[in-house]
Structure 1
Amino acid sequence: MAGLLLLLVALAGAPAQAQVLDDSTKVIYGPKTTRLLHEADILRDSTEGAILDTSLTRWTQARFWYHDTTFQQDLGAVVTASRPLLYQPNIQLGARFGRNAFDKYARNAADIPYYDSRSPYSFFRVVQSGEGEQVFEISYSRSLKKNFSVGIAYERFASNKILAASGRAGLVEHSNLLLFGRYQTENERYHLLFNIGNARHKASEQGGIRPLAGDQPRDLFNYERQSVYLTKAQNTEDRDQLHLLQTYRLLGRGLTLYHVFDVHRQYNSYRDENIPYDGSALLFYPTTLVNTTNTLDRAEFRQVENTLGVLGRTDRVEYRLYARHRGYGLTSQRASATSTVDKPDLDERVLKNSDNQLFVGGTAAFNYRKIYAVEVAGEYKFLDESWMRATVRTGPLSGEILLSSYSPTLTQQEFYGNHYQWPDTGLVRNERASGRFSNTTALHFTARLRQRLPGFSDHHFEASGSLVNLSNLVYYGTDGRPTQSTGVDNQLLILFARHQVRFGRIAFDNQATYTQGGDVAGIRIPKLVGFSRVYYQSYIFRKALFSQVGVETYFQSRYRAFNYSPSTQQFYQQDLFTIRNYAIADVFFVADIKSVSVFLKFAYINQGIYRDGYFTTPYYTGYPRRFQLGVKWNFFN
């Protein structure tokens, strides 16, 4: 504890150099002079931006360390394959690769932050735990001229094995390098945003715990002493993207022309150098189609998009209309029967799929102060897919209807590997699968209430209710292969509530999502998912340090979670393993010292009180009790 106090005292003095001062030692540049812009702001013809978020509320919560903040089902360790735990509507039309297991950790080029600062701005953040969790990011941006700024960012996420671990064996490593910039003319008539990014992801796949004869799920919390199915399997994913947005005002803010150019490449490779057997019996995999000793499956998806449109904005009306062209190509390969670990040899037979697609869409909104608002939006792909959304808001109440019809992903339509291949009618070189599945249609009705309540400080209440009807859902069945619930309608009732309130220095933030109908073919959702945060905040050290100390609790009810297939990178349905309900409690201390934020966290402090552990995916256990440390430091010079 003495060492910790010395660290905090040192940090309290250091940030004074991280802000630009004038001769009277008055701070000129800081969080309030650095504006944050996104592509969505420019597409609303707004350049005001927002101030930096320096609050402590999200800093200790692990789901806000990455680029997807939704609750996720993963493989028990950070940076492992994951999928949204709660229902998420789909409005992505047309050709989609369908390899999304690592989306949580990859940046979305349309959501990149751009900085408008009168001085150079940089920051770094790092999170480390005793179990090998690591999050690191460093970013630097500066203005080269009054209306031109560039920046560079690098991030690395990593974790060590917690199952069958020998020492500090690495499990997953993700890195991302990003170059970004923005330019605008003096009269703000022309705007340009651009970013270039590449992401590299390497994950050792273990296949989950291999139980011994007679083992029950409660017997499988020995972590590093457990046995696993796969010992030399690895998934590799590379993503490269170039993204550019241009806008030009033709008639002030009432009529602006815009263009979006996007080039995207995603490469996935799965390799297992030691296919597991028990004697002559094949383990883990359903079969080996070509090579009985080692697997090497590869797929590469390339996409080029051009979007051209017009937009406009007044005090009460906003609109945007566009047309988009997409050209794409998918190539799949697998190792030949004679391929070995030392001499890999890809099958000469290559499965290719390429096409061009055209979309039109737009949005229109009318706002009357803060009293009343109407918005309609939609997109149509020629000639067979579409989505449409209409929203009405009056005061704190709003209602929404969303109707969508979309095709299955390219991976759901065809796959070419050593352990799986679909469709079964063996396609030849350059041939493609089509018409296997009909479109999935979804209808959503949602009502929301957002209200600031009187009586206490920071008193907010939010609630929503949704009715969802899904028809012809395409999903991965119990054999790991895609299937469709043809002629079957699935209904979901989703209720959400969140309450925030502060009594003096004590604050509460509680939220819960209830889902009815989440245990049917193709859908696996816990009935109740909740998160609670209770903390005490105050200044200490003569107001030199602002701190919060409290408890975070996550709760999830029992459900039959999806299993995971590493060779296809897909979560698929299983009916034999039920993940019991569990709660995870974390105790934290977080402090803000001028430009520095530090947190200390004792995670899963309740381990052993009710159970010795929990499962996140069948035969994948979550982290045991551990200590976490995080530091974030902003610089404004």
Structure 2
Amino acid sequence: MRKILFILTILIACCTLSAQNQLGTGLGSSASGLDRNNYDRNGNPIDTSAVVDASTIPIGLNSWVIEPRFGNRTEVPVDTLQTGFPNSNDTGGSTGHYTFLGNLGSPRIAHVFFDRLETSQFFFLDPYDYTYIRPETVVYTNTKSPFTNLTYFKQGSSRDGEERFKGYLAVNANKRMGFGTNVDYVYGRGKYNHQSTALFNGDLFAYYLGDKYNMHFSFIYNNMKVAENGGITDERYVRYPLDMAEGGKTYSNSEIPTNFSSVWNHNSGYHAFFTQRYNLGFYRDREPENEQDTLVTQEFIPVTSFLHTIKLDINKHQYITQNEEELNSYYQHNYFPDLEKDVIRHFSIKNTVGISLREGFNKWAQAGLTAFATHEYRRFNMNDSIWTNPEEQPNQLEYVENVVSVGGQLIKEQGRLLHYNVLGEICLLGEDAGQFEIEGNGNLNFRLFNDTVRLDAKAYIKNLNPTFFFRHFHSKHYWWDNEDLSKIMKTHIEGKLTIERWKTQLKAGVENIKNYTYLDDNSVLASGNEENSKYLNNLAVRQCADNIQIFSATLKQDFKLGILHLDNEVTYQTSSNQDVIPLPSLALYHNLYLKFSLAKKVLNIEMGADMRYFSEYYAPEYSAAIGQFYLQNKDSRYKLGGYPMINGYINLHLKRTRISLQMYNLTQGQGKHSYFYTPYYPLNPRLFKVGISWNFFD
């Protein structure tokens, strides 16, 4: 009991200390350890080129993430890489695959279609996947020494600059039990009026890995407040500033008029995740690793596992307004003109139980087999149309949904040659009855010309019920109840070839979608003429009953000549219906740099420039009232893209410390191909950024 109380005290102290210092997420998606063969458990090669001193990474350090349905572990490599360090703080993604509003931490959507995630039940958080912590992104670490990572990014002044603090702490109580915490604080003040972002996300985690009993726990807190300016009123202020000058004086960024000056979106939530597994099995003698090893040890072989996972979500979305006049001139509807806070709540609790016959307990068990059942309770609260008293909050409608589903999994993870994972699930009862998913992935590893070649394949068939807010949504400016939406049918197949020695990766896939569900512009022409038309904004949910095909192919090819490096990524994609799913046909990323070492190879230096580019397409607009991206109005739409975003940088890596110096948007220009990714939301102009990251192992 004393030991348990001691561990709980340490957990609370770590969480409190991290919150006080506002030091954010540690290792993102690349925090992990190294194995003896420089491969992770899935056969993926691990890049150790940035590891200068073996003492930097103590023996025994390894990290993993959890699959949220069954609690299966997947190891991830150590975040010590020097190349691309400044890009880890780019809202547009490390290779520029995302459309966003310009400011650090602003909402975003992938313009490479296969990078888009499924719409969640509380879709207000989806555009913040850049920082939003989910159970499957929590990194657990087992380490012989307390491990800490502190990272800080800085740009600009206290008036319009941006900052990001990240931190990660992992401690082991013993070789089987560990715990830790991480938080991520993003503060982007914004170069344009009323554009600031303040995103604070953190989690507390713990795990126990025994022979017979395993468990993982995480508690997540997300608090994200964003000032919404509705975009600048006229893009010519950026594209053709001289045309908009008054008396010969051009507008500075902060002086450019915006649609709103008193609107905010605030998303907050608490999330608890707990998964446990009890194993039945037997002990057997472990084979010695070499002939000199005479010590006989035993290892536990699990045969059957009983598993349980519970996931709890409590979310709140607030749309905050303080100036009704600017809203009435912009939106078609204002259903609650005297309501400053439009609040939507979401509560969900999901339980999964299952039994698993484990892989590898004897020569006849070539794969693992799992059967499971899931129950999910969902509750949503929104404003009703009845306004009883303007001085009080409007009545709230409550929607309750219960969903029961069953499924099974066939999986093979052991060995080096072949791995696969096939899973199927069908909903039997509740709101999503008839929904089903069948998905599978696998990889084949073999030797070719003294190199390891890896073939990956992924496929799925999904019949999905549109998420709740596509079916029902009541808010200050948008209102719909869609009881007749059909289920969304998706069929996808994808393959990937990786040749590590050649630094080559080729990936191609195709997807067919029927009943694609999306947000569309439903604005009404208020006044104007052919030269200058004004629309009052409104949105609607649409479904496309036709089949839409998406094809995408990506080639990654890196070259090296002495200290000269050139990393390349080229993506081609096409949509059979550009009116419903508009996509840029080409997305490019190129990174040209020199890489060398000084001071007896203790100091590693990279200096060069990288470029992001996507071809012109009808990029989606952003709605401040709902915090989502939607299709442009077909009567007034126009294309964005064709702008090469080039950043120059110097990266330094000295033992446990990484430093980056970056000049952002070197090609800042004007005219048609100016720096816009989203209509009326310019990117940041040319500016200087700095970043630093420390790793501590004691």
Structure 1 length as normaliser, TM-score?
A: 0.84
Q: Which amino acid aligns with 2:230?
A: G
- How far residue 56 of structure 1 moved from its aligned partner, in angstroms, is 1.1
Match in the other structure for 2:504? 461
Query: Does 2:615 match 1:557?
Result: yes
Q: Could you say if the C-alpha distance between residues 306 and 408 of structure 1 is closer, same or farther in structure 2, counting changes exceeding 3 Å?
A: same
Q: Could you say if the C-alpha distance between residues 594 and 367 of structure 1 is closer, same or farther in structure 2, counting changes exceeding 3 Å?
A: closer
- How far residue 302 of structure 1 moved from its aligned partner, in angstroms, is 0.6
Query: Does 2:128 match 1:102?
Result: yes
Query: Does 2:500 match 1:471?
Result: no
Query: Which of 228, 232, 238 is residue 205 of structure 1 equivalent to?
Result: 228
Match in the other structure for 1:456? none
Query: Which of 20, 26, 39 is residue 66 of structure 2 equivalent to?
Result: 39
Q: Could you say if the C-alpha distance between residues 243 and 69 of structure 1 is closer, same or farther in structure 2, counting changes exceeding 3 Å?
A: farther
Match in the other structure for 1:318? 368
Q: Could you say if the C-alpha distance between residues 632 and 42 of structure 1 is closer, same or farther in structure 2, counting changes exceeding 3 Å?
A: farther
C-alpha deviations, 1:266-317, integer Å up to 9, x for none?
110001110344xxx93221221231x6543110111001111233222842
- How far residue 543 of structure 1 moved from its aligned partner, in angstroms, is 2.3
- How far residue 45 of structure 1 moved from its aligned partner, in angstroms, is 6.3
SS of residue matched to 1:88: helix
SS of residue matched to 1:255: strand
Q: Which amino acid aligns with 2:84?
A: R
Q: Which moved more, 1:525-534 or 1:593-602?
A: 525-534
Query: Does 2:252 match 1:226?
Result: no
C-alpha deviations, 1:556-588, integer Å up to 9, x for none?
111111111111222111131321311111111
Query: Which of 644, 662, 668 is residue 583 of structure 1 equivalent to?
Result: 644
- Structure 2 matches for 1:475-554, cutoff 5 A? 475-479=518-522, 480-517=538-575, 520-554=578-612
Query: Which of 442, 458, 463 is residue 490 of structure 2 equivalent to?
Result: 442
Match in the other structure for 1:78? 104
Match in the other structure for 1:622? 683
Q: Which amino acid aligns with 1:184?
A: L
- Structure 2 matches for 1:163-562, cutoff 5 A? 163-164=192-193, 171-185=196-210, 188-211=211-234, 218-219=240-241, 223-251=253-281, 252-277=301-326, 282-291=328-337, 295-311=340-356, 312-314=358-360, 316-333=366-383, 345-347=392-394, 349-366=395-412, 370-382=416-428, 383-391=433-441, 393-395=443-445, 396-423=454-481, 435-453=483-501, 459-479=502-522, 480-517=538-575, 520-562=578-620
Match in the other structure for 1:12? none
Q: Could you say if the C-alpha distance between residues 597 and 66 of structure 1 is closer, same or farther in structure 2, counting changes exceeding 3 Å?
A: farther
- How far residue 367 of structure 1 moved from its aligned partner, in angstroms, is 7.0
Would you say the 8 A contact 1:32–1:51 is kept in 2? no
Match in the other structure for 1:19? none
Q: Could you say if the C-alpha distance between residues 42 and 552 of structure 1 is closer, same or farther in structure 2, counting changes exceeding 3 Å?
A: same
Q: Which amino acid aligns with 1:443?
A: T
Would you say the 8 A contact 1:415–1:421 is kept in 2? yes
Q: Which moved more, 1:80-89 or 1:462-471?
A: 80-89
- How far residue 197 of structure 1 moved from its aligned partner, in angstroms, is 1.3
Q: Could you say if the C-alpha distance between residues 478 and 201 of structure 1 is closer, same or farther in structure 2, counting changes exceeding 3 Å?
A: same
Q: Could you say if the C-alpha distance between residues 471 and 633 of structure 1 is closer, same or farther in structure 2, counting changes exceeding 3 Å?
A: same
Match in the other structure for 1:132? 161
C-alpha deviations, 1:302-337, integer Å up to 9, x for none?
100111123322284234332111111000127986
Would you say the 8 A contact 1:519–1:525 is kept in 2? no
Gaps of 5+ in 2: 1-52, 245-250, 282-300, 446-453, 523-537
Q: Could you say if the C-alpha distance between residues 216 and 501 of structure 1 is closer, same or farther in structure 2, counting changes exceeding 3 Å?
A: closer
Supply the distance in 1 between the matched residues of 2:588 and 2:112 (Cα, whole angstroms).
11
Supply the distance in 2 between the matched residues of 1:41 and 1:326 (Cα, whole angstroms).
14
Would you say the 8 A contact 2:69–2:309 is kept in 1? no
SS of residue matched to 2:495: strand
Supply the distance in 1 between the matched residues of 2:545 and 2:493 (Cα, whole angstroms).
21
Q: Could you say if the C-alpha distance between residues 490 and 498 of structure 1 is closer, same or farther in structure 2, counting changes exceeding 3 Å?
A: same
Instruction: Determine what percentage of the aligned residue pairs are the same residue.
Output: 18
Structure 2 length as normaliser, TM-score?
A: 0.77
Query: Which of 645, 662, 665 is residue 601 of structure 1 equivalent to?
Result: 662
C-alpha deviations, 1:344-366, integer Å up to 9, x for none?
6310x212111211122333235
How many residues of Structure 1 are paired with residues of Structure 2 in the alignment? 580
Would you say the 8 A contact 2:66–2:73 is kept in 1? no
C-alpha deviations, 1:54-99, integer Å up to 9, x for none?
1112312146779999822211111112222221388869x82232
Supply the distance in 1 between the matched residues of 2:256 and 2:192 (Cα, whole angstroms).
6
Q: Which moved more, 1:402-411 or 1:619-628?
A: 402-411
Would you say the 8 A contact 2:151–2:693 is kept in 1? yes
